[in-house]
Every structure is written in C-alpha cells, then in structure tokens.
Structure 1
C-alpha cells in the first residue's frame, strides 16, 4: 500500500459499517496494539527501528492509533534508511479490540548520487553529491558534496554521520571542508580549509542544540585592484579554533509562512583554543507570529549580535569574522551588506548590530488561488530598522554602547509579494522606501528582489 494509508479487514466489534448509515466516532473505538511488524528490512538492524515505534503501544482509541501510526511513519522516513514507508493497520484475531500495525519499507540503495540546486543568501547553487546511506545498519552515512554558486562561491564537503538515537534524538558528525567565499560587498575572498565536529541533540520538544568545534586555516585575499587598503591590510593567513553552541527553539506552525508560534535562536562562539584568532561572539534572533482575523498574520522579529576581541590587538580577528547588515534579507531598501562604516566602495562591517522587522502578511487579494497555488504566495507590508557599528557592550560602557546603537539607525518600509519555494526557501519581490539613512548608505529605492532561506 502507499505511504500514509490505513487498511482494516473487518470492523471492530460493536461498530456498524458505514453502509448502514451510522456514523462512527473513532475516538470511542477502543484499541490495544498487540503487534508491530516492519517488513522489508535487510541491512537495517531491528533494534535501530524498534525505538521509533514504541509509542504505538500507548494508543487507546482508533483515532489515536491512526495519528500515532502517521507520526511513526515520519520518524521512520527521517532515519534516512528507507526510500518508501507504507502503513497497514489490521485487526488482530486474538482479541476483539486488538490491532497490529504493519510497515512495509523499501531500503535505500547502498550508493545514492545526484545533482540538485540550493538557494543561499540571494544566490543559487548547483550541488553535485553522492552518499552512502545506512552503512552499518543503524543510520550511519557518509556524504560527499561539491557546490558551485552563482556568485563564484565554491565548497567541498566530506561528512560522516552517526545517529545516537534515544530520547534526546542525538547524533554526532564530523566534516572535512574547503570553502571559497567571495565577499563582493567588501572586495575580498576568503578560502577556508578545516574540520568541524558537531554533537546535536534535543533537550525538550522542539528545542535543538548543536555543540560544535571548528578548526579552520583561512586565507583572505583582495579580490580586485580596487580593493581598499582597509581591507587589503587584513589579507593573509590565520588559523581559527573555536567552540560554538547553537540553540534553536522553534514552535512555529510553518517554517516559511508561519501563522502562529515563536522562534528563538541563540549562537555563542568562543575562538581562541589555539591559533591566532581570539574573540567571543554572540548572535540571537527572536520571531513571534500572531494570527489575526481574515487570515492576516502580524509578525515581529528582532536580531542582535556582538563580537568582543579577547585581545586589544586587531590581528586577533579579521573582516570575515565581523557582522554585516543590509539587503533584502535583513534591512530592506539598502544594498546587500552595505550598511555601516566604509572605505571607498568597500563595506567594513561591524562588531555589533541590531535589526528589527514588523510584517503584516496577507493571502493574495480576493481569495485568488486559495486552496491551490495561492498557498505559495503571501502579500505583505513591512517596516525594517537596524544599525551596525563597533560598539563593545562591555559592562562599564553598556549604556553608552546602547545609545550609540540607537543613534543614526537606518529604517525603511514597503510592500511586496513573497513566494514559497518548497519548505525551506522563498523569493521576495518588494517595493521599498528607505526613509532613515546616513550619508554614504547605498539605497535601493523601488523594486528589490530577495532570494534565500533566512529572512528577517
């Protein structure tokens, strides 16, 4: 049977058939799950999949059984071992209210390769990849990817992942990488080669943690003859060894067009475990969505970040470690990452920033496309504000840093259309009016196009 279907061979005792014209309240039909079978296992170990089906035995009504069977189906699909997972719910012959649940699975091949596209920060990429799934039978996998971006970005990754499972849904991974990241807004290119270790787990429902160590040898180069001296003097090699903690709390009902729920993301990084790069960096994001009548959604979002060098010398970090602000994904109505201090035509970034947004999202006018293609579109009106500079936010000068950050902030407003691309990315076509800006800011008055995953 196809995935998500449920089949019964006979009606539970005491419940009339639908052809009799009697409605059935599935919440009153008693259920006791006596057996769960998974057909089609070859390489996959029984103990690895059994932990995903335990909650089926807690079902007490037929409605609850159907819901839990669907949840378990999703868990089995996320294990990364199967190409297809089908469900059969059958009545047991041993007792009147006994049931058994059968999952028919097809395991993934030993080698999977392909060519895909990926969307980043206002750019598209072509991804050439291959992976070895379920190598040892418990979800272990090795991925090899090479990515070519439309802005001359390139990266190569070799990743090994070992799921640990358990109530924390944990896994551990190791990655070897080589990145080429041009920064056209500052006229430099940085090459990074190194390794990343990641331990991921859930401390509570929808609360995800990533504990990471990264070691990277970096080479920063001026990308043109017009690169300013302020950027050019930071060229050269550096080695960064850092610990990073990422906590994501996501209670939204949809990742792209949420109508309710809250997102909180906190990132802390400590660089200085060897090497010549030493700083502490904090970055945070808060988003709240409030449903309103007539399918309207009011969304508010705030981001804040600060970098503090661990040494008074500027050589303990370079421009690639700093924050940048501006563009269709942060403060709309300004060019990409163009806000803050400049040297000639190059943006210099900053050690601290804040950015905020208020949106009013609406479906397409007059119910156009409702229930079909219209679900991929939202119109919105927005107000953006933010600022970036080198405020330190140390304890002794916190108040002064706050006042500096609130002085001469940039702001814009506008209207536009957002288009959902699958469940991860979106396109925005906005008409922007910057109304608060500083001398030297690069404005985008009128139409601005945004493409990416992470929008403020």
Structure 2
C-alpha cells in the first residue's frame, strides 16, 4: 500500500503561522461510508496553524493506513486563493479488494502448522472485518476460528469483536492425552505507545481424552470440563528481529482469571511473564558480503497460579492449564516437560515456575554470508507442583532451593519463519524425577530461552 501527503501549494511560512482548513474532499471511495471517513478526518478543521495542519493531515494518513482497507492513499493540501490563511485538503483513495485469502506455514514450540484464512474486509463500510482461519499440524491436529471485528469508535488502534473457535490438540509430547476444545467470547485489542494489549472474555468447553498409556493423574481429569475466563496480555516488542534478535528488548505479560462467580470447573488466577534483552557487541561487514557479528541475549520467564476467594484445590488448574518446564525451547538439556514431578510417563506439571537463560551468539568464520550462527548458552529453572493456598514466601523458597541447570553450545539456522537449533547439552543439576537429555538436542520454533 502506498501512502503520500503532498503539500503542493503551501508557501514556506513559519510553523506557528496562522492556517486553517477551509474544505476537505474525499475521492475514490465506493464501499467505505462517508460517516466513517468523516469521523477520521473531522478533527483537521480544529487546526489553527501551519504545524498543526500538517500534523493532523499526517495523522489522517496514518489512521487510514492502519485500517488496512486502502491500497493507495494520497492527500493533497493546496492554498485557498479566495480566503486568506486557509487551505483545501483532498483525499484520493483506492480501496482494497474486499475478499482476503492467504496461507502460511508457522513453526513454533517444536511444532509446524499449515495456516490459512479467508475473510471479508470493510463489510459495512467502516473497516469491519469477518475472517475464518484454520490450522493443521503435528501437534495441533486441527484448529478453526471465526471472528467479526470492528474499530472501536472508528479508531484504528482499537478493535472489538466476537469470536468462536475449536481445536483438536495432541499433548502426548508431554502427557498422554488429546484434547478437544470449543470456545466463544468477546475480544478487545488495542495499541498504545507502550505496546499491544488484548483483553478477552470466553466460555470454553473442553474434552480430555486419556490415551491407553496415560497415568492415573491424567485419567482422573479425563472427560469434559468447562472454563469461564477473562484473559489479558500485554506485549512490548522493541527487538530488531523476532527470530534472532541482536538488539532491543521484549516484554510479555499474561494474566487469566478463571471461574469468576463460581462458573466453570476451574477456579484460579494465572500470571506469566516473558522478558528478554539483546545487545550487539560486534557487527562489521566483511569482504565476502557477510556480517561478522557477536551478540549476547538474556531471557527470563516466570509463572504463578494464585488463589482468589476460597481456595478449593479440586477446582484448580487442570492438566491443560498448568505450566510445564524443560525442552529445547525452554531449559535446554531436558526433555520437553521433563522438569518436575511425574506420574509414570506423564509430567504432573506445576503451578509456579521460573526459567532464565544467557546466550552468546556469533557468526561462523567463513560462513558469515549464510543464515547460520554459533552459540553457547547457560540455562536454569525450577518448578513447583502446588502454589494455591501456599504462602508466597514458601513458594519462592521452594523455587529457589531446587534449581536445575544446563550449559551447552551449538548451531542456529535462522529463517524468516522459524529458528532451528542443534545443540550439545550438558545437564549440570537435576533431581530424581527429572528427565535430563544430555548430548545432542534439536529444537525449532520462535521463542527460545
């Protein structure tokens, strides 16, 4: 999409010089409502000097672009010859096709998915959208979601909508069960100067199917259950690259309240933090067209379940809701979900955890022009089974007393859609219930410790 603001006929005057908008014309629209466009452009008439006029014109261009309903946006600002100190503004817009279809391949958390979607944009002429998305993969066997969204009060930085979704997921990499879920809810998404917020309220119906090898802990939770929850997430991403960052920082905060008012089969408060910081130490271009680079990355993650109201352990988090720790994207040198208590072959999971990692990442001598890096890492973390009804200081003490740790080195292949690691891992500290995985370990995904 192209966007341009053309100040074609404004003389060079000081920014504080008096200037007002006399008239505004909108050309090239057929599907978009005039009232919707007026709600975006009307504040341009509040400008009273040159700087303010240009600022508000740029804001109009930014808002129109973020609504994602125009292929081309051109704004012309011309001096009005009949009325002194005024200009006329003209918007030349070219609308996008209303139908959308796309397919992508997503890789994350040691799983690969084929994603696709169909949608209709600008349904009622106010940047409303309706989409249906699907996904198939080795862990998410099938997933589909439909949603209807509209800008909140015409603001491109805030959208509100309703959604329905369903999925069939294979959890056997950690626990021997499959899960079918269906959910309906309402969602609000907003962008602020600090980051992205998302708030949703949903009813979820889940059916846990224990496999023949499942432990008694998983079998006890087999069957149908319902969850009513409010979720909030905040993400601030200032990294220079999401796959293999060398500069910047990332902060993600997630909260969930389940069972408000006593509805549903799960009652808990869940909190999770994911933060990372990245710094480039060396970045110089060589004669072969590649970059000799050296960077350091530090990541910390933590999660906690807490009680609200009367603690009732029988209505706490289910096997689907708990935290699991260990694996090539988590604490390396352990099997996926291989840290913590176990019941047979299944991980019990936890209600509190922390994990931290430091990596030094370097270009490979002679291969600087290829998407291959070498790295050395140190990881640590711990998990506790129960936190609800346990004093916070006791939980913190338990997490501090039982840290697991590993170190290692390996190669990173990074692509636009994913990152693949081949690492030689050395578990340094673990307990009798853990499943360390020394020597070679492979991982692919987006978010590594």
* TM-score bracket for the superposition, by shorter chain length: 0.7 to 0.9
Q: CA deviation at 1:450?
A: 1.5
Q: Which of 149, 159, 178 is 2:147 aligned to?
A: 159
Q: Which residue of 1 aligns with 2:378?
A: 383
CA distance change for structure 1 residues 428 and 52 in 2, over 3 Å: closer, same or farther?
A: farther
Which residue of structure 2 lines up, in the alignment, with residue 417 of structure 1? 412
Whether 2:136 is the aligned partner of 1:148: answer yes
Kept after mapping to 1: 8 A contact 2:328/2:334 = yes
- CA shift, 1:417, in A, is 1.6
Aligned partners of 2:140, 2:193: CA distance in 1, in Å?
A: 39
- Matches of 1:264 and 1:271, distance apart in 2: 23
Q: Quick one: distance in 1 between partners of 2:44 and 2:420?
A: 41
Given that 2:201 and 2:231 are in contact with CA atoms closer than 8 Å, whether structure 1 keeps it comes out as: yes
Contact between 2:99 and 2:118, CA under 8 Å: does it hold in 1?
yes
Q: Which residue of 1 aligns with 2:258?
A: 271
How far is 1:222 from its partner?
A: 0.8
TM-superposed deviation, 1:303: 1.0
**Which runs of no fewer than 5 residues in structure 1 stay unpaired?**
15-26
TM (normalized to structure 2)? 0.80
- In 1, are the aligned partners of 2:108 and 2:418 still within 8 Å (CA)? no
Looking at structure 2, the residues matched to 74 and 364 of structure 1 have their Cα atoms a distance apart, in angstroms, of 41
Q: How does 1:315-354 map to 2 (within 5 A)?
A: 315-354=315-354
- For the residues of structure 2 that align with 1:366 and 1:37, how far apart are their CA atoms? 59
* Aligned-pair CA distance for 1:350: 0.9
Q: Give the SS at the match of 1:275.
A: coil
Q: Residues 31 and 303 (structure 1 numbering): CA distance in 2 closer, same or farther, change over 3 Å?
A: farther
State the alpha-carbon separation in 2 of the partners of residues 361 and 128 from structure 1. Answer: 34
Residue 455 of structure 1 is matched in structure 2 by 448
Matches within 5 A, 1:9-48: 39-48=27-36
**TM superposition shift of 1:10:** 9.7
Aligned-residue CA RMSD in angstroms?
3.9
- Does the 8 Å CA contact 2:2/2:73 hold for their aligned counterparts? yes
Q: What does residue 288 of structure 2 align with? A: none
Distance 1:101 1:410, change over 3 A: farther
DSSP 3-state at the match of 2:204: strand
2:435 match: 441
DSSP-derived class of the 1:321 partner: coil
Matches of 2:151 and 2:4 in 1, distance apart? 28
Equivalent residue, structure 1, for 2:396: 402
Q: How far apart in 2 are the matches of 1:55 and 1:379?
A: 53
TM-score calculated relative to the size of structure 1: 0.79
Query: Any idea what the Cα deviations from partners look like across 1:227-267, whole Å, max 9, x if unmatched?
Result: 12221121011111111222223344443444443322222
Measure the CA separation in 2 of the matches of 1:270 and 1:402: 22
Q: Please state how far the C-alpha of 1:419 moved relative to its aligned partner.
A: 0.8
**1:235 equivalent in alignment to 2:222:** yes
In 2, the alpha carbon distance for the partners of 1:243 and 1:153 equals 26
Q: Distance in 2 between matches of 1:251 and 1:409?
A: 30
For the 8 Å contact 1:153–1:182, the answer to whether it is kept is yes
The match for 2:289 is none
Assess, with a 3 A threshold, how the Cα gap between structure 1 residues 435 and 259 changes in structure 2: closer, same or farther: same
Q: 1:46 to 1:260 in 2, by over 3 A?
A: farther
Structure 2 unaligned segments of length 5 or more: list them. Answer: 284-292
**1:401 is paired with a residue of what secondary structure?**
helix
Change (3 A) 1:55 1:305: farther
Task: State the Cα distance separating 1:407 from its structure 2 match.
Answer: 2.6
Structure 1: distance between partners of 2:92 and 2:106: 32
User: Contact 1:432–1:448 (CA<8 Å) still a contact in 2?
Assistant: no
Aligned length: 428
Return the offset for 1:363. Answer: 4.7
Distance 1:141 1:442 in 2: 47
Any conservation in 2 of the 1:391–1:404 contact (CA below 8 Å)? no
Tell whether 2:6 aligns with 1:3: no
Give the 3 Å change call, closer, same or farther, for CA 447–235 of structure 1 in structure 2.
closer
